[in-house]
Structure formats: structure tokens, C-alpha cells
Chain A
Amino acid sequence: MKTRKSKSFSGNFITYAMVIVAFLLCELALSGVIPGFKMSRSLKGQLVPICVYIVMAVSLNLTVGISGELSLGHAGFMSVGAFSGILVSQWLLSAFPETNLELVRLLAALATGGVVAAIAGVLIGIPVLRLRGDYLAIVTLAFGEIIRNLLNCVYFSFEGANLNFSFLDPNLPGNIVINGPMGAIGVKKLASFEAGFILVLFTLVVVLNLINSRSGRAIMAIRDNRIAAESVGINVTKYRMLAFVISAALAGMAGALYGLNYSTVQAAKFKFDTSILVLVFVVLGGIGNIRGSIIAATVLTILPEMLREFGNYRMLIYAIVLIVVMLVTNNPMLKSTLDSLKGKIFKKSVKEGDKA
């Protein structure tokens, strides 16, 4: 029991260390202190989206990997977070134009994004969590589409501190902020790589601690055998809901950060494709493997940009890479070779350690 616990601890430690080292390396490259070690504009522009997609992948992994529910509507929560976050941030700007509240606005946007997405998570969780497997997947998919279509019809505008809202009618007085299908316009960019890094750390703390807690074990017990879990007195609905809502809230925060990274965000961005993209990160990184999700989200966000040299064959090559990675990582022969290689290296290091 004790060894198991220390193993999970060291695993978590590696995850945190990996993220922090990557952050420091990026900061070093950004500062350009070491000559020759500089980040290209292209990569620089992707830092915030990478953080956002990491949070999205880790939070979806909580639903898909830890709780065992296949959710296809994760982008729906992201869009709720993005739009509510933008709304709050822009409202603060409109209500208090004199004061410089960038940090407050960013935090308020992230908190609001998380809370609103959590509320959406509860609302959708009530009907969804009565279902299992494929049925649950289809309902979450439908939810994602409903959210997107609703956001296409919503109009918000500000007059100083006053907020105007209308459904389907674009003629609002004041300064329009959310303009139906044109999405949020004139957003003041607040997101930064540092904020993204802190959000990633926050997500890791929440998710990893949840997994290693009593609640986390209950969630995994329900995933592995629902009837057995119920028979020992675990409240199935409560724990499934817990995982689902936390996952939604984190996706909402990621959405808020994403929304504040661009001057304009349209509901069309958060369509089914985006949900699937995040699911691909989770599956490729390994279902239930948090560290894998982080790596997959990072690599698969950068990859299409690295492949720009291939011109129109870019997305074709991207797809082929996906297929190859899936096949290779699931190849039993390769797995055993890798394992034996690992064993050899490990043995070697032990021997060397003995020598020393």
C-alpha cells in the first residue's frame, strides 16, 4: 500500500516537474538571454492556445479516463466559458473605464467562465448522467450543438455599466460586445502565457489531487464496476456528477482564457470538430493518463504549424501521423521491445549505481 502511494506521488511529481521545466525553458527562449536560443513568432503565438488545449485535454481526461464517460460536447463548455468570461471582462472595462484592472478582469473572467460552465455542467449532468456509454456520448454531442446554436442568437451590448441583452434581435443600443453569429467582437486581449501556465498548474493540482483522493477512488470504482461500487455504499450519481462538473468548470476556464487571447471569438469555433480534437488529444495521450494528455495536446497543437512546409498536404500528413502513432503505441510487439529496452536501461543504471 505504501509503495503504491509513493509511486503515484512520484508520477505526479514528474508531471509537475515536466510542466514547470517546459515553462521555464519557454520563458528563457522568450527573454532571448541566450543567443541563438530564441523562439519563433509562430511558436510564440501558439503558447496560449497550447495552455488552453492542455487544460481542455486534462479536464476531458477526467471525464473520459477517470470517470469513464465518453463526452463529445466538451467544446460546448469551453464556449460557455469563453463567452461568459469575455462578457465579464468587457463589462468591467465598460463600467470602470478609468481604472486599470487587467489582472482583476482576467481573474474575474476565468472565475466566471468556470462557474458558468459548472452551472451548465450541472444542468446537462442531470439528464446525461442517467445514461451510460453510447447514449451519454450522443446526448453530450447534442448539448454541444445546442449551446453553439443558442450562442449564435445571443446579442449583448453595454452602455456604461448597463448591460443590454436580446435574443435574435441585433438592434441594441450602446456598444455591442456579443453580436450573434459574428461572435464576441472588440475583445481586449488579456491572456498571457504566464496566465496560461498558472491555469495549467491549477488544473493539474485539482485533477491530480482529485484522482488520489477518496472521491477519486470512488469515481474510479464506479467506472470499473458500477454495481460493486453501489453495493459498498458509494453514491454513484454524486460522484459521477462531481467528476463531470469539475471537468466542465475547468473547460470553462480554458474557454475564458482562449476567448481573451483573440480580439474576436465566434460560436462556430466551438463546434463538434473542436470536441473531437480534444478527444483525440486524450486518446492519443492515453485514456486516464494525465501526463500523456499534456504531451499529446502540446505536440498535436504545434504539429500542424510545423507541417506548413508541406503546403496543401499538411492536413493529410497530420492525419497520417495520428494513425501511425495510434498503431505504433498499440503494437504489442513494439510495446514488449520497448519494455525490454526499458528493463535493460533500468538494470544498467542499477548496476552502475552498485558500482558507484
Chain B
Amino acid sequence: MKKILAIALALVLMATASLAMADAIKVGVIGPMTGPYAVYGLAVQYGAQIAADEINAQGGDIQFEILAADDQGDGELGVNAYNDLLDKGVNIMLSTVTSGSCMAVSTVANEERVFMLTPSGSADAITVGKDNIYRVCFKDSAQGLASAQYIVDNKLATKVGVIYNNALDYSIGIYNSFKAKAAELGLEIVAEAAFSDDTNADFSVQIAKMQEAGAELVFLPIYYTPASLILAQCASVGYAPVFFGVDGMDGILTLEGFDASLAEGVMLLTPFSADADDELTRNFVATYQAQHGEIPNQFAADAYDGIYALKAAVELAGVTADTAPEDACDPMIAAMQQITIEGLTGTMHWGADGEVDKTPTAVVIKDGVYVGAK
């Protein structure tokens, strides 16, 4: 009897669950859930889910269902994931997480008129010539420009060294714009050293080059994994310049096996800092920590804001769960340019070129947490 009751209860629950889900707008999240970039993909998935849960809990007309698909950061798999999600009835895309995959997927989405908002695909070319591709994060060149500007404005250093990954489009994109802006502002780049994904274990040569040239500040337009090694190896040779990173540096504090004290004093330019005092950030960080046991990084915040941006645009555009992706596209484009979002990563609005307008803030790592730099 108990068993039958349990089964009946389960069936009823399932029925109500599917009823509740019936009107949900399906949002496709494509990103690397496995592989070397999994930290970013999972952060985006979790961040988006938290936002969707909040929106669903309010019980308004708009309900979201997040469908996540793994692409391992690869273009071919990204397109496969995109097709798979459309098979499953996705209405709009919050995709993709990494730039390389985003380039491939955004072109297909542009041809097939599927509205796409990328939380963190930062390569400049992603939005160029594609009217239905928008993004939440800054584009690479904007990060390079802002970094150079910030260093000069705050007189952090006069002699700058750069260590970058010459096999990574993200790193090269930021580096090139940084270099151009530095030349314009009269900031002297005294040393440049490159590495690639195959040589990202030993940085003694690059560090020695920085040290010999007397760089007071080392700019690191790279992801946090190699950055953590650079910090550790600099500490071991007693070289302590100011380290300045970009949003890829975000995540360094949650890296397993990394001594967070090494990151003391590292500055990075990121629109999100988990220790910000406003209620929105506090709530988000608390929820994220309760669910996943770690401090959310900027990718999670971008995804969270992305979902709220989609909500506002969906409301304005009148898109429902029954709207086909290609019918949702044009109203969404029009709506995106009208909305303004007060999000975790600042106050955002979008131009017709798909780029977000928000102000980057510099944070400095103090006692293992981000503190807004003055």
C-alpha cells in the first residue's frame, strides 16, 4: 500500500512539474562543462540557473528553463550542441561561454536567425556583422584599452612587462589592444614574453625577462591557471612587481591547490567583485555558496545578469514559450536595445552593435578576497 501511494505521489508530482514547466521559455546554455575550461562553463550554468530559479520563484508570467549542453570549448562540438538544443525546443540562447566556440556557433545562429546573448565570449569578431548576437561581458579589445588606461590614470607603473599566451585568441586580442593603447598613452612596455598551451608549466624564462628589464608592473592577459604558476614562480625567485590581470584571472582564488596568499596584492579589471556590499551581490554570493560551496566568479555573474537581461527583453518583445526561435529573433533585437539592467556587473544597456555599455572596476586581492581598488 505504501509503495502504491509512493508511486501515485511521484506520478502526481511529475505531472505537476511538467505542467509548471509547460509554459517555461527554454534558454540554451552552451559551454565547456568538461575539459580544461570546465570552471567557466559550470560557473555560467550555475549562475544562469540561480537567476532562472529566482525568476521562476516570483511566479510571474515569464518562467525560464535552462538547458545546458557541453561543447568542451570546441567549435565543432559547439555547433553540435547548438543543433541538439534546438531539437529540444530552445527559444533563445545564452551561449556560448568560450570565444572560439562562440565564433562558430554565432555564425550559424546568425544565418538561422536564433537570438543569442553570449555571457562571456569576448573575441571582438563575435558580434561583428551579426545583428542578433549580443554579449554581457566586455570585448577583448575593450579590456586591453581599459587596462592600459587604468594603469596610466592611477600611475601604477611606468615600466610594464607583459606575459601572454600566443596560442590563445583571447590573450592575443587583449595584448594587441593593450599594446596599441599603451603606445598612445606613452606607457613603456619594457618586456614582452609569450608562452603557449604546450609550454605553460615553466615560466622561468619569461619571469627572468621581466626581471632583467626592470618591469614594475606585469600585465597578465591570460587565464588564471597559468597565472597561478607565474605568481608562484615569481615568489620563488623573489620578484614582486604589481601584477595586473583581466577577467580571465578571475577564478584564481578558488583554484584547488593554489596558495591564495601568493595572489595577495594582485589587481584585476573585472566588472564583478564578490565582496561588493550591495544586496544583489550579497544574495547572489550567498545562494551560490550554499549550492556549490565556492565563491562565484565573474562568469557566473555575467550569466546571472544575462538571464535577467533576457527576461527584460522577453517581456518587452512579448516572446513566449510557443514562439519559434526565428520569430523571437527580431523582436528580441529591438527589445535588447531598449532595456537597462541593474545587474551584478553594473548598470548595463546595449547598442545596436551588440556590445554592452558598462564600467569596469578594478579590484585588488586582499586577505584572499577581492576588494574594490581605489
Contact = CB atoms under 8 A, between A and B. Distances in A.
Interface of A: 40-42, 44-46, 49, 145, 149, 152-153, 170, 179-183, 185-186, 189, 262-269, 304-305, 308, 311-312, 314-315
B127 to A, nearest CB: 13
A102 to B, nearest CB: 15
Contact of B172 (A46, A170, A265, A269): A170
B309 interface: no
Given A42-B83, A44-B83, A182-B125, 16 more contacts: A41-B84, A41-B87, A49-B76, A182-B123, A182-B169, A183-B169, A185-B103, A263-B103, A268-B100, A268-B167, A304-B77, A305-B80, A308-B70, A308-B81, A311-B33, A312-B33
A269 B34 contact: no
B33 A181 contact: no
A329 to B, nearest CB: 27
A290 to B, nearest CB: 24
A264 B103 contact: yes
Contacts of B346: none
9 contacts: A41-B83, A42-B83, A42-B84, A44-B83, A46-B83, A181-B168, A182-B169, A264-B107, A269-B76
A16 B19 CA distance: 50
B172 A145 contact: no
Contact of B75 (A179, A186, A266): A266
Nearest to A151: B167
Contacts of B278: none
Contacts of A263: 103-104, 107-108
A305 B81 CA distance: 8
Given A149-B196, A315-B34, A266 B169 contact: yes
Contacts of B34: 312, 314-315
Tell me whether chain B's interface is mostly helix, strand or loop, or mixed. helix
Contact of A182 (B77, B80, B104, B172): B172
Interface in B58-94: 69-70, 74-77, 79-84, 86-87
B184 interface: no
Q: 8 closest Cβ contacts across the A-B interface?
A: A263-B107, A182-B169, A45-B83, A264-B103, A41-B83, A42-B84, A42-B83, A181-B167
Interface-central residue, B69, B77, B167, by most chain A CB under 10 Å: B167
A40 B100 contact: no
A268 B76 CA distance: 12
B198 interface: yes
Nearest to B180: A171
A229 B176 CA distance: 57
B167 A308 contact: no
Given A262-B104, A263-B104, A264-B103, A181 B80 contact: no
Nearest to B175: A170
Given A152-B166, A185-B125, A305-B84, A264 B70 contact: no
A315 B38 CA distance: 13
B279 interface: no
- Residues of A contacting B: mostly: helix
B37 to A, nearest CB: 12
Nearest to A265: B75
A308 B169 contact: no
Given A181-B168, A185-B103, A152 B83 contact: no
A46 B34 CA distance: 21
Contacts of B107: 189, 262-264
Contacts of A268: 100, 167, 197
Contacts of B80: 42, 45-46, 305
Given A181-B167, A266-B75, A312-B70, A41 B86 contact: yes
B173 interface: yes
A21 B198 CA distance: 44
B345 to A, nearest CB: 25
B370 to A, nearest CB: 29
Contacts of B123: 182
A134 B45 CA distance: 44
Contacts of A312: 33-34, 70
A180 B167 CA distance: 8
Nearest to B38: A312
B79 A180 contact: no
A264 B213 CA distance: 38
B114 to A, nearest CB: 11
Contact of B196 (A49, A152, A264, A305): A152
A145 B75 contact: no
Contact of A264 (B77, B100, B198): B100
Nearest to B140: A182
A170 B100 contact: no
A336 to B, nearest CB: 39
Contact of B169 (A42, A45, A181): A181
A42 B87 contact: yes
Interface in B130-188: 166-169, 172-173, 176
Nearest to A263: B107
B75 A262 contact: yes
B76 A262 contact: yes
A149 B195 CA distance: 11
A265 B169 CA distance: 12
